[in-house]
Amino acid sequence: MPGRISAILTLILLITSSLYSYSADTPITAIKYFERGVKYMDVWDYDGAIKEFHNAIGEYPAFTDAYFYLAWAYDKKGDKKEAFNYYDALLNIDPGYAKAYINRGAIYAGYMKDPGKAIADFEAALKIDPKLHEAYYNLGVVYQEKEDNIKALENYNKAVEVYPKYESAFYNRGYLYLKLQKYDLALKDLDQSLAINPKKVAAFVAKGLVYFKLGDLPLSMSNFQTALYYDVNNASAHSGLGTLYGEMGYYKLALEELDLAVKLDPKNEVNWNNRGNILQSVGKFPQAMSNYNTALAIKTNYALAMINKGSLYFEMKDYVNAALFLKKGLALQPKNPAGLYTLGLIEGQIGDIGRAIELIKSAVEIEPKNSTYLTILAKYYILKHNYHPAISALEKAIAADPWKYDAFILLAQAYRQNGDLKNALSVIERAEKKFPWNGLVFYEKALIQTAMKDSAGAVESYKKAAGLKIAEASQILEEQYGIILKN
């Protein structure tokens, strides 16, 4: 699914020179250069600002605020290297300038990709001023990028404790709760973010994702559409809406939305991955593979694309490559339920039923109401003649999806093979009422009746199964009962 944390990092800007009290030894000429530089910043003339701040420093080399603004001007201009150099120079002059640590740390994290040094800078800022909410927020972002969710939450918590109207921190914490499947907490934080900023598009997109995960497709669609109302070119909203259409079976609409998402944001690996999902769903395997490969070219360690590529190889019956990519993806995202489930299916295919059970059981622990995972887990338990956990899993599957006919059939089978024919018959009769069109229901009923020595009942059930195109039923009628049905 689409969606990212709202911003990489927060930088601190001292808004206006009127906030300063200059030291007595600051030359008037330096102050004038500095104040002109601030005015240039106000109108986004960064080159003009840079010139004035250099002049201010030339007049007064210890002018720390001029260093800070000079670094900021380079930062805004996009020259991260020069910005870093001047933040560095400022901290050599004044190691207690807390806000410079925050901005230098942001460059370490976002530009230099050095989270360790970024963390050290943010922590240094907090040692000087424990009330700098931006430092807590930035620590949360860096830890979230490092997948250290506990520390990310700790720092987002501190950020909103220090600054209770910190909209970005509420959003990022809400998005993290979404990732952790704590959907109630996610919605609470996202709503808080929107209470502060009612037009925050990213928060509507994230709420769309939450409701999608909760299975509330109308509310999911409503939030994606609200996001697009405020920003018709928001790629993540189009990507989310496309994935939603895919879940609803509207594949043409899904591809239209995802094509637009890719066009709007071609460097976003999530959009390519989501489009690959839909292409895989409609059987366009080469195109799906191309989309997954593009996602991985953008982000080489993108676990979800690796797992999806593995699932595609599984559908193509290339179990070697399927296992290879699933294991790579799970090494990066070990609690991905779809990856664990599909790898479990591969282990089952090669005959390692115990390992299949272990993997699919892990998937069920993450998604305890996934009726497909529960049903296949039970199937493998039955193969191991381990009927009690099979029965438990199937009862949970039916509770999660009362129309999952294969769970009813397997539950009846588990009771039958365990010798509990009374419960087996009760389950299959429930299935018969719900699924009178399904020949496998009548075939299983015939097996139960045979075990109960009800030959007449078994024959009738085999006939119904044969009439519903179950070839094995016709064969048993002919071989065991001498009955040949007319076509």
Q: What is the dihedral of CA 158, 163, 164, 166, to 10 degrees?
A: -100
Whether 414 contacts 382, CB under 8 Å? yes
Sequence-ordered list of residues with C-beta below 8 angstroms from that of 408, at least 6 positions apart, any chain: 398, 427, 428, 430, 431, 434, 435, 441
Contact 405, 434 (CB under 8 A): yes
pLDDT of residue 215 exceeding 50: yes
Asked whether the beta carbons of 29 and 301 are under 8 A apart, the reply is no
Tens digits of residue pLDDT in 30-48? 999 999 999 999 999 999 9
With tokens 């200059």, the residue in question is 22
Which among 24, 12, 22, 129 is positioned nearest to 66, based on CA atoms?
A: 22
Structure confidence by residue, pLDDT tens digits, 224-256: 999 999 999 999 999 999 999 999 999 999 999
Residue 388: predicted pLDDT: 98
What percentage of the chain carries pLDDT values higher than 90? 92
Q: How far is CA 342 from CA 247, 326, 371, in A?
A: 19, 8, 15
Question: What residue has token string 């993108």?
Answer: 302
Question: Which residue in this structure is represented by tokens 């907090």?
Answer: 126
Q: Rounded to whole angstroms, how far apart are CA atoms 136 and 153?
A: 10
- What phi-psi label fits residue 234: left (phi over 0), alpha (psi between -120 and 50 degrees) or beta? beta
In the predicted model, is pLDDT for residue 1 greater than 50? no
Residue 14 pLDDT exceeds 60: no
Q: Is the pLDDT of residue 352 over 70?
A: yes
Across the range 72-94, mean pLDDT stands at 95
Contact 98, 129 (CB under 8 A): yes
Question: What pLDDT sits at residue 7?
Answer: 42
Mean pLDDT of the residues in the chain: 94
The radius of gyration of the chain from alpha carbons, rounded to an integer in Å, stands at 31
Residue 15 has pLDDT above 90, yes or no: no
For residue 75, the model assigns a pLDDT of 92
Q: How far is CA 333 from CA 144, 154, 267, 307, 361, in A?
A: 14, 21, 22, 9, 17
Structure tokens at 380: 């493998």
Q: What are the Cα distances from residue 85, in Å, to 34, 47, 64, 134? A: 19, 17, 14, 21
- Cβ partners under 8 Å of residue 33, min gap 6: 52, 53, 55, 56, 59, 66
- Enumerate residues 6+ apart whose C-beta is below 8 A from 11: 72, 75, 102, 103, 106, 134
* 4 band by pLDDT with thresholds 50, 70 and 90: very low
Closest CA to 274 of 243, 245, 320: 243
- Domains delineated in the chain: 1-164 (1.25.40.10), 301-367 (1.25.40.10), 436-487 (no CATH)
- Which residues have CB under 8 Å from 201's CB, separation 6+? 227, 230, 231, 234, 237
Q: Are 326 and 310 in contact (CB under 8 A)?
A: yes
Q: 100-132, pLDDT tens digit by residue?
A: 999 999 999 988 999 999 999 999 999 999 999
CA distance 176 to 179: 5
The pLDDT of residue 17 is 40
Q: What is the pLDDT of residue 23?
A: 78
